[in-house]
């Protein structure tokens, strides 16, 4: 169906919350709730086709037009700098992007600051703005381990409840950005499917505000 809107949803806990918003906005697709390992689900009556995508890949699917719209964390949008429109803050998946380090950590400016992170571009940009020389250590997870083992001085990572930091004797040094899930759109889809995309955006907005 030519006018179907293809929606990339982030697989996992955030995706379930986000799908619920779409459902409440009138774009339900009951088959998505069935326990199976399918990745594509559609409801032609509602005009939507959903894909479960790895959260960090959503913006790529949308940028390249494999999906018309999608939901991605602001952290991923900041890091990947994909060329998409950001249409709406969905107000879910809220956390902070922050610099954290061992309690009482004091930076000695004579040495390069060693920063462990998944978000290398965000970290580079953040420290460039204050003219701080850094040595980036690119990790893929369990970032909190790095300062504990002396692999890095600090980390740039997401903090949700703060429990991981607390239980590893680390603390926030500085908050870089407030993060939440955003509705994004492919630029040419927005031009050619304006009406449908605007309708979805408006109805989601009503659900969030309601
Ligand atoms: C994220 C993040 C922190 C943790 C923060 O990790 O990277 O480690 O959650 O949550 P908290 O403040 O509520 O403790 P995730 O669980 O995604 O795993 P990862 O270590 O593989 O990134």
pLDDT in tens, the chain (210 residues): 458 999 999 999 899 999 999 999 999 999 998 888 889 999 999 999 999 999 999 999 999 999 999 999 999 999 999 999 999 999 999 999 999 999 999 888 788 999 999 999 999 999 999 999 999 999 999 999 999 999 999 999 999 999 999 999 999 999 999 999 999 999 999 999 999 999 999 999 999 998
Expressed in angstroms and rounded, the spacing between residue 158 Cα and the centre of ligand 1 is: 6
pLDDT of residue 111: 86
User: Most distant CA pair in the chain: distance in Å?
Assistant: 64
pLDDT of residue 120: 98
d(CA 198, CA 28): 17
pTM over 0.85: yes
178 lines ligand 1 (CB under 6 A): no
d(CA 177, CA 75): 8
pLDDT of residue 2: 54
d(CA 141, CA 22): 30
pLDDT of residue 132: 92
Token digits for 165?
């930091």
157 lines ligand 1 (CB under 6 A): yes
The structure tokens 């060693």 sit at 114
Nearest to 99 by CA among 37, 155, 27, 144: 155
Expressed in angstroms and rounded, the spacing between residue 164 Cα and the centre of ligand 1 is: 7
Neighbours of 94 (CB within 10 A): 14
Residue 91 DSSP one-character state? -
100 lines ligand 1 (CB under 6 A): no
159 lines ligand 1 (CB under 6 A): yes
């Amino acid at each position: 169906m030519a006018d179907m809107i293809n929606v990339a949803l982030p697989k996992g806990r955030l995706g379930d919350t986000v799908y619920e918003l779409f459902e409440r906005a009138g774009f339900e697709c009951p088959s998505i709730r069935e326990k199976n390992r399918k990745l594509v689900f559609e409801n032609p009556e509602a005009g939507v086709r959903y894909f479960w995508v790895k959260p960090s890949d959503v913006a790529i699917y949308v940028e390249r037009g494999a999906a018309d719209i999608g939901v991605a964390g602001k952290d991923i949008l900041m890091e990947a700098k994909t060329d998409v429109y950001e249409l709406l803050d969905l107000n879910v998946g809220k956390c902070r992007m922050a610099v954290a380090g061992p309690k009482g950590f004091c930076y000695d400016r004579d040495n390069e600051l060693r920063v462990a992170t998944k978000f290398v571009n965000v970290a580079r940009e953040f420290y460039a703005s204050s003219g701080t020389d850094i040595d980036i250590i690119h990790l893929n997870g369990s970032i909190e381990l790095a300062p504990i083992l002396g692999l890095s001085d600090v980390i740039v990572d997401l903090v949700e409840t703060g429990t991981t930091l607390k239980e590893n004797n680390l603390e926030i040094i500085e908050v870089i950005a407030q993060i939440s899930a955003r509705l994004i759109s492919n630029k040419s889809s927005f031009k050619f499917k304006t009406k449908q995309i605007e309708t979805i955006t408006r109805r989601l907005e009503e659900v969030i505000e309601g």
